[in-house]
Every structure is written in structure tokens, then in C-alpha cells.
Amino acid sequence: YQRRVRGRNSKHTTIRNTGTLDHFMSDSGVLNLQKKDPFNDIDDTGTIIGNNAQYVHIRVVQRNAKKRITTCEGLPEKLNFDKVLKALRKQLCCNGCLLQDKDLGTVIQLQGDHRQEVFNFLSESEIVKPEMIKIHGIT
């Protein structure tokens, strides 16, 4: 196994031997070729819960220097999104809109970073169980 190395102040590259590939392999072959889905979650008992389709994802995206957008996706389709959006806008004192996505369904988009407030709203109003909500984004 060889590696190309470029010196600090040099424009030339040299080839160094760094050993073999044995530290990447095990007896049965490559280690990372397991049949486990990395996107499945495991609960406290060790059983696989399922794929991410059942979770509600709350994300924040930085739009520019100080402006951020909070999105909430994966909510149940039986929900009246207009009423939920109106209640969130009133409670958080921000503007928001509903987006239709062919893969994600209906997405609630709010101006500002309101991840924890949206989490509290969804869990207190019993729209979604707290363990089914995942918060993503900038910390």
C-alpha cells in the first residue's frame, strides 16, 4: 500500500510505503459490509424501531448571516396543517408557510430558529409523541 506525500515547501511529491491493507480487513473480509441498516434506530430493549418515515424531523437552516428557517416535516397527513401553522405563528410571533413536497409531503416552514418551541408545541398538544420527534440543525 503506497501513499503520495507532498513536502511542506516542496512542489514535488514522493511515494512512501505505508504497509499493507491488513488493518482494514478482518478474517471475513471488509468490516463495514454488514446487513444492518444504519438509518434504523434501536430502542431501549435493543429492538429495531424501523425507518425514518415515522419520525417527525425538526430542522433549522441558516439562510444568510443571521437569518434562519425552521422546518417541520413528517407530520401525519390526517392533520389540519392550516390550523397547526396558524397556532404556531401566533404562539411564536413569526411568519410561516406550508410547502408541498412530493417526497416529504407537507412541510411547515417558520422564520427563525424555533426548534425547541416547535418540539414543545407538538408534544404538549399531543400531535406527536416526544420520542417520535428528532431535532436536527445548528447547535
Closest CA to 107 of 84, 127, 137, 126: 84
Closest CA to 72 of 80, 64, 63, 81: 81
CB of 61 closer than 8 Å to CB of 72: no
**pLDDT per residue over 27-80, tens digit each?**
555 555 555 555 555 555 555 455 545 789 999 998 888 899 999 999 988 989
Which cell goes with 33? 459490509
CB of 132 closer than 8 Å to CB of 51: no
Query: What pLDDT was estimated at residue 48?
Result: 47
Residue 20 pLDDT level (bands cut at 50, 70, 90): low
Query: What pLDDT was estimated at residue 103?
Result: 85
Alpha carbons 14 and 27: distance in angstroms, whole number: 32
**pLDDT per residue over 97-139, tens digit each?**
999 988 888 999 999 999 999 999 999 999 999 999 999 876 5
Query: What pLDDT was estimated at residue 96?
Result: 95
Report the DSSP pairing between strands 56-62 and 133-135.
Answer: parallel
Closest CA to 104 of 73, 65, 135: 73
Residue in the block written with cell 448571516: 65
pTM: 0.61
Alpha carbons 52 and 74: distance in angstroms, whole number: 9
User: In this structure, what is the dihedral angle of CA atoms 120, 121, 125, 129, given to the nearest 10 degrees?
Assistant: -50
The neighbouring-strand residues paired with 42 are 48
The neighbouring-strand residues paired with 135 are 58
**pLDDT per residue over 70-102, tens digit each?**
999 999 889 899 999 999 999 999 999 999 988
